[in-house]
Amino acid sequence: MTQLSTQPYKGTRDFFPADMRFREAMFAVMHKTVQSYGFEQIDAPIIEPIDIYLAKTSEEIVSQQIYSFTDRGERKVAIRPEMTPTVARMVAARFQETPKPIRWYSIPNVWRYEQPGKGRLREHWQLNCDIFGAPSEKLADLELLNLAIDLMRGYGASESHFKLYLSHRGILNGVLGGELKLPQEKWPAVARIMDKRAKIKPEAYAAMLAAEGVGEDKRQELDLFLNEKLDYIKKKSHLEGASYILETMQSLEEIGLSAYVEYDPSVVRGFDYYTGLVFEVFDAHPDNRRSLFGGGRYNNLVGAFGKESTNAVGFGMGDVTLEDFLRTHKLLGDVPRKVDLYIALMSDDFAPHAMNLANTLRGRGLRVEVSLGATKLGKQFQEAEKKAIPRVLILGEDEVKSGVYSVKTLATGEQVKLKATEI
């Protein structure tokens, strides 16, 4: 008989109790912060018709990373690689009866078939926050940027820990199509080369651009765009999105967030559905300089479902990169067990009394664990100590008769006698 492996499927994780405590502590900050902005939580099936990804998800995800199959009803379906198309489908389904603007969030489990590595797995959880149908797109964008920064601050992060880089798709399109006069089909390739600029040698960068039709003159203009940043768009105020970025930066300064934010024209994100604002949040630590999460404006996605179109902006924050960030900066350590009291039994005969007592205490909000048959009292104390339970209640014949219990604090050795109502 073949021995089965104890390892999880490649690119996935088992969550043992300590892992779950850490994950739930991360999620608790997400829930608290996002709900404080008026967002409501949603969820959806993990399997979707593959068509919703073929329509709007990036070609790389669809052709290389998606988990897809034909079900027994001959339907082509996929395990969701991202949540945004699903959210857009749900908005389209309830668009008329849902008050606007719609503020929804979710923390779904998503899957992509890719090579696992640092900060990247095949399965992860991702906080998604989206605003649909806001009367002012600019205010909705500003609200979402504020939320993204507040989420990081909710973990104790400051401007020294991370930076939010933002740009606008209209500016990039205007530079590539108007200033460089490149055909639209070349834009995604040139944008990918821009993204590699800091990671490759200048001659390789120039050669890659030349292969896409960006000669020396055009490359010089592109370098001005990338290097001069805000000064460039101040001079090129005719570019769509230029005034928007300048006004947004001013607004962020007025609400005290300018230390967290920088305009970076090299922020691109997917060409597939982003239509305006785009942003990425980066870790500032030298050992973990990478994108943590990002998002932007995608105004054309809801209309793909044949319903009334609406403006939309959102972001997704993955738990893998977030955990790396929190552990790198020591912002969220291992979370201890949360059991208040262990009831040790002098004899199993007292188990019914112990369980009744435990139920009474649980009803008052305490978390109580009852011994399940360890014969020696010393072993029960060892069990409580190993499980980091701070106090032990000793239950013997005298305690059962009197209703007065000995409670010992393990850290100090202090022992007191208490009635049930005093525990």
Q: How confident is the model over 129-133, as a mean pLDDT?
A: 96
**In this model, does residue 323 exceed pLDDT 70?**
yes
How far is the first Cα of the chain from the last one, in angstroms, to the nearest whole number?
53
Q: What is the pLDDT of residue 301?
A: 77
* pLDDT score of 52: 86
**Omega before 101 cis (within 30°)?**
yes
Confidence band of 56 (pLDDT split at 50, 70, 90)? low
| pLDDT computed for residue 2 by the predictor | 83
Mean pLDDT across the chain: 92
The yes-or-no verdict on residue 306 having pLDDT over 70 is no
Contacts of 104 (CB under 8 A, 6+ apart): 39, 40, 41, 42, 87, 90, 91, 129, 130, 132
Beta strand segments in 201-339, E: 261-263, 277-283, 291-297, 312-318
* Predicted local confidence at residue 309, as pLDDT: 77
pLDDT (tens digit per residue) in 22-31:
999 999 999 9
pLDDT for res 304: 72
Supply the pLDDT for residue 378.
Answer: 92
Give the pLDDT confidence score for residue 286 in this predicted structure.
Answer: 86
Mean pLDDT of 59-83: 88
Number of helical H runs and strand E runs in the chain:
15, 17
pLDDT band of 307, cuts 50, 70, 90: low
Kindly report the length of the chain. 423
Q: State both tokens at 180.
A: 């460089």
Tell me if 404 sits within 8 A of 415, measured CB to CB.
no
The yes-or-no verdict on residue 293 having pLDDT over 90 is yes
Segment 28-49 mean pLDDT: 97
In words, the CATH class of domain 341-422 is alpha beta
Residue 272 — very low, low, confident or very high, per pLDDT cuts 50/70/90?
Answer: low
pLDDT digits (tens, 9 = 90+) for 344-365: 999 999 999 999 999 999 999 9
Q: Is the pLDDT of residue 312 over 70?
A: yes
177, 169 in Cβ contact below 8 A? no
Distance CA 113, CA 83 (A): 16
* pLDDT band per the 50, 70, 90 thresholds, residue 419: very high
Place of tokens 């004899």: 347
**CA 302/CA 316 separation, integer angstroms:** 17
Strands of 169-233 (E only): list them: none
At residue 110 the predicted structure's pLDDT band, cuts being 50, 70 and 90, is very high
pLDDT of residue 349: 92
Quick one: pLDDT at residue 54?
82
Burial class (CB within 10 angstroms; exposed 0-12, middle 13-18, buried 19+) of 166: buried
% of residues, the chain, pLDDT over 70: 98
Percent of residues, the chain, with pLDDT higher than 90: 75
Residue-level pLDDT at 59: 65
Domains 17-328 and 341-422 share a fold: no
- Reported as a pLDDT band with limits 50, 70 and 90, residue 200 is confident
Contact 211, 193 (CB under 8 A): no
- What is the model's pLDDT at position 302? 76
Q: What is the tens place of the pLDDT at every residue in 141-176?
A: 999 999 999 999 999 999 999 999 999 999 999 999
Give the domain ranges of the chain.
17-328, 341-422
pLDDT of residue 287: 82
pTM of model > 0.85: yes
Give the model's pLDDT for residue 130: 96
Overall average pLDDT of the 381-397 stretch? 95
Average pLDDT over every residue of 44-58:
84
Q: Percentages helix, strand, coil for the chain, rounded to the nearest 5?
A: 45, 20, 35
Residues 167 and 141: beta-carbon distance below 8 Å:
no
CB atoms within 10 A of CB 38: 10
The CATH number corresponding to 17-328 among 3.30.930.10, 3.40.50.300, 3.40.50.11890, 3.40.50.2000 equals: 3.30.930.10
